Amino acid sequence: MERKVVVTGMGVISPVGNDVQTYWSNLVNGVCGIVPINEYGELGLNVHVGGTVKDFQPEAYGIEKPFVRKQDKFTIYAVAAAQQAMAQSGLVSGENIDPMRLGVYVGSGIGGYGTIVAECEKSVKEGLRWISPNYVSTMISNIAGANVAIRYNACGPCLDTVSACASGTNAIGEAYRAIRHGYSDAIITGGAEAALVPMAAASFAASRALTKEPDPLRASIPFNANRGGFVLGEGAGILVLEEYEHAKARGAEILAFVSGYGHSCDAHHVTAPNPTGMTQAAAIRQALDEAGYNSDDKLHINAHGTGTPLNDKCETLAFKLALGEDAKKAHICSTKSMTGHLLGAAGAIEAIAAILALKEGIVPPTIGLDEPDPECDLDYTPNNAVKTDLTIAISDSLGFGGHNACVAFRKA
């Protein structure tokens, strides 16, 4: 028997805020979290900016100093976001949920990149015998999820997805399916990433994926005719998904219904998206069909919207293929214009933004959209938030390797 799934908790660490309220306020008001990173220029990189997490204090989330010393930033961000989400949900393992029925699905595209770089530098300078015994257990991509599970005594299913920039969305979607089909009663899910290191910037720049723009306000400009690439960001987004009757029985606040999920693969190229938009559209259509979408719905889309020339054009095609004429009336935005691209965490923080848009009836803007690309001719909510009643919201993510994923939410 298929069960209903709801969201009962959310937490975020991001370039525009380290709690959900601040994050949402800044998105709605078009606040840009992208800042100069002088280190890149000093190292000879033609990359100048990044979406950095600011004023982050681990102790504010109950994270102990020894844990901070031993863990990579992506894990610390995940635990901080999980603390917020679990506090809001009111779930306590062993009290109001069976530990064996509480799971964790947290994705990361790369894992502990900072740890990898630091230990490689150590091996060159000091020799291999000085490598940390914690190196592997700190850098592997599943370790954020593992630490969340340990902290919250979540002994149920634990599946930590690695599908590049679709990782967070895939994690949420797979968690939804696990609850829907009875494998768990609640799952702590989302994504985390902390890849703002020079080696990552150098690699993405070499592949011509990053913008060279030094002005933070002009760096991440999705769907703009003058866009030149994406901006690397960092952070984490965590949601608590729960079976509806379980949440209802304990009097939990229901933030939204998770109503659909789809995913596909371009099977086309390791970095470039399928230029037809067909495979991306298939994932979007799966999520919409499962959510019971029809033309009477008022749809909001939090687009992947990276600001690369290929992505934005192909994603526009995908929306048109998935929605037909309805694409013209969809309220779409790219919050990456404010946060940059959080890679494996992007889908998670953007799912949270989509839920809040649905709940509050406000579509955040795509800032910097002063000269729309003629090939990106849908309503991308340029520069200013729009108030409108919404009935359904989706968040889609497209990752290197051709990974496409989409989750759909309906109003509580």
Q: Mind listing the pLDDT tens digit for each residue in 169-179?
A: 999 999 999 99
d(CA 256, CA 244): 10
304 in catalytic set: yes
Query: Which segments of 10-140 does DSSP mark as H helices, in order?
Result: 20-28, 38-42, 65-70, 73-89, 113-126, 135-139
Angle between helices 167-180 and 346-360 (to 10 degrees): 60
Give the mean pLDDT of 266-291: 96
Residue 38 pLDDT > 70: yes
Q: Indicate the average pLDDT of the chain.
A: 97
Give me the pLDDT at residue 408, please: 98
Give the mean pLDDT of 298-310: 97
Beta-sheet pairing, 186-193 with 235-243: antiparallel
Query: What ranges do the domains of the chain cover?
Result: 5-249, 261-411
Phi (first) and psi of residue 357, to 5 degrees: -60, -45
Beta-sheet pairing, 186-193 with 331-333: unpaired
300 in catalytic set: no
Give the mean pLDDT of 283-299: 98
DSSP one-letter code for 75: H
Q: Which class would CATH give 5-249?
A: alpha beta
Residue among 103, 126, 67 at smallest CA distance from 175: 103
d(CA 304, CA 398): 7
Tens-digit pLDDT profile for residues 2-16: 899 999 999 999 999
The overall longest dimension of the chain from CA atoms, in Å, is 65
Residue 237 pLDDT > 80: yes
Cβ contacts of 44 within 8 Å, gap of 6 or more: none
Model confidence band, residue 128 (pLDDT cutoffs 50, 70, 90): very high
Beta-sheet pairing, 392-399 with 299-302: parallel
Give me the pLDDT at residue 16, please: 98
Give the mean pLDDT of 28-39: 97
Model confidence band, residue 356 (pLDDT cutoffs 50, 70, 90): very high
As given in the structure block, the two tokens for residue 197 are: 């290191």
d(CA 385, CA 18): 21
Residue in 48, 246, 263, 304 annotated catalytic: 304
Query: Is residue 175 helix, strand or coil?
Result: helix
Residue in 246, 341, 376, 403 annotated catalytic: 341
Residue in 32, 48, 158, 165 annotated catalytic: 165
Give pTM, 2 decimals.
Answer: 0.98
Give the mean pLDDT of 233-257: 98
Tens-digit pLDDT profile for residues 167-220: 999 999 999 999 999 999 999 999 999 999 999 999 999 999 999 999 999 999
d(CA 119, CA 213): 31
Name the CATH topology of 261-411. Peroxisomal Thiolase; Chain A, domain 1 (3.40.47)
d(CA 386, CA 391): 15
268 in catalytic set: no
Residue 1 pLDDT > 80: no
Residue among 107, 62, 103, 36 at smallest CA distance from 397: 107
Rounded to the nearest angstrom, the gap between the alpha carbon of residue 340 and the centroid of all alpha carbons in its chain is 11
Domains 5-249 and 261-411 share a fold: yes
Give me the pLDDT at residue 360, please: 98
